[in-house]
Amino acid sequence: MPRPGRKEEILNIACRLFSRKGYHGTTIRDISDACGILSGSLYAHINSKEDLLYEITDRGANAFLESLRPIVESKDEPLMKLRNAMRAHIRVIERNLEAATVFYHEWKALSGDRLQVIREKRDQYEALWNRIIREGIESGAFRMMDEKFARLLILSAGNWVYQWYRPGGEVSAEEIADRFTDMLLEGFDGKRGDSA
């Protein structure tokens, strides 16, 4: 009988291996060796390697959604929602660095219904960002802009953090989020503040 917590241990090890070697570059044998069990024994805990990938990516998708929903549904002004949303996004990456790497790189390796579930959650997440942007435009807090390109810019900045961020560095995840948000809101035009 599988021991309690063993599945979680296997997931953590698979996540670490997928983040370093990629999903296709990691074999069941790699996972079982890292777990200290025989390959055949691994199947007492999982049905397939794809089960592990799905669990990791689904947890990642849920973490992003659960962090953003309350911000979008709050009564905060759009500017604060944008700032809090960027903080939440980068905080999820900070707390789940290996899983974020797997999520960003490997989710398309899923097949069938599993791929569709993750795609739908990604679309839900992007729609929440669109709500913040649209609310900001409609309230006059943001200038008129292409909502899709605004979302792509914001998420491109936020999503790439997993590549270079290291917990415990000189700059906290929250400070990174605030700097990104300030740059997004203020732009790079040094003359904008001089006209007043």
Residue 71 · residue 84 · CB < 8 Å: yes
Q: Does residue 111 sit in helix, strand or coil?
A: coil
Q: Does residue 48 sit in helix, strand or coil?
A: coil
- Interior angle at CA 93, CA 116 and CA 169, nearest 5: 160
Residue 91 · residue 136 · CB < 8 Å: no
Selection from 97, 117, 69, 112 nearest residue 164 by Cα:
97
The architecture CATH gives domain 48-188: Orthogonal Bundle (1.10)
pLDDT at 40: 81
Tens of pLDDT along the chain (196 residues) come to: 445 588 899 999 999 999 999 999 999 999 999 999 888 888 888 889 999 999 999 999 999 999 999 999 999 999 999 999 999 999 999 999 999 999 999 999 999 999 999 999 999 999 999 999 999 999 999 999 999 999 999 999 999 998 888 888 888 889 999 999 999 888 876 765 554 4
Q: Report how far residue 97's alpha carbon sits from residue 104's, in angstroms, rounded to the nearest whole number.
A: 11
Domain ranges of the chain: 1-46, 48-188
Q: Report how far residue 22's alpha carbon sits from residue 148's, in angstroms, rounded to the nearest whole number.
A: 30
pLDDT at 37: 87
pLDDT at 152: 94
What is the pTM for the complete model shown? Answer: 0.88
pLDDT at 2: 45
Count the neighbouring beta carbons within 10 Å of the beta carbon of residue 102: 27
Q: Which CATH superfamily is domain 1-46 in?
A: Homeodomain-like (1.10.10.60)
Count the neighbouring beta carbons within 10 Å of the beta carbon of residue 151: 18
pLDDT at 192: 59
Length in residues, the chain: 196
